[in-house]
Amino acid sequence: MECPAELCLDLVMDLLLSPEEAFPVPARLGYSPDDPYAVHVAFHVDSTQPIGWFFARDLLVQGLLRPTGLGDVRIWPAVVDGRRTVTLMLCSPEGDAFLQAPAAQLAAWVRRTLRAVPPGGAAERDRVDRALDALFAANA
């Protein structure tokens, strides 16, 4: 996903293999005002192409504060060894993955996305786009 530099976040997440063992996974989170409801994540593991996931930005916003999600993506805050983290549980037919990221990094990035498109701003943009589409269709 292409995103403006200020709306991309490169970080290392911990893939939890067991309660005692984690594997570092480079990841890139991306947000684009052109796709205002979604967060895109690319995990760079031992493959030629990154593994991509996307989910609602609101899910991540809520997951910074409390457990959220019922489907393929679940997010919750945690404290690990005195550090505030956020855990992502990603479910697929191949299995589930638990990843942890520093809460402060994620929260700072989420704030930047909220400044780019405030809550409710996407809905207003959608209404304007639909009105413009209707106007242009009527004049075609």
Q: Domain containing 131: what range?
A: 8-138
**Tell me, what's the pLDDT at 45?**
84
Reported pTM = 0.82
In a domain, 1, yes or no: no
Position 116 scores a pLDDT of 92
CATH code for position 31: 2.30.31.20
Classify residue 2: in a domain, yes or no: no
Question: Using DSSP, how many helices (H) and how many strands (E) does the chain show?
Answer: 3, 7
- pLDDT tens for residues 95-108? 999 999 999 999 99
Q: What is the pLDDT of residues 8-51, one digit of tens each?
A: 999 999 999 998 899 999 999 999 998 899 999 999 987 788 99
Long-range CB pairs of 88-97, under 8 A, 24+ apart, other chains included: 88/13, 88/63, 90/53, 97/15
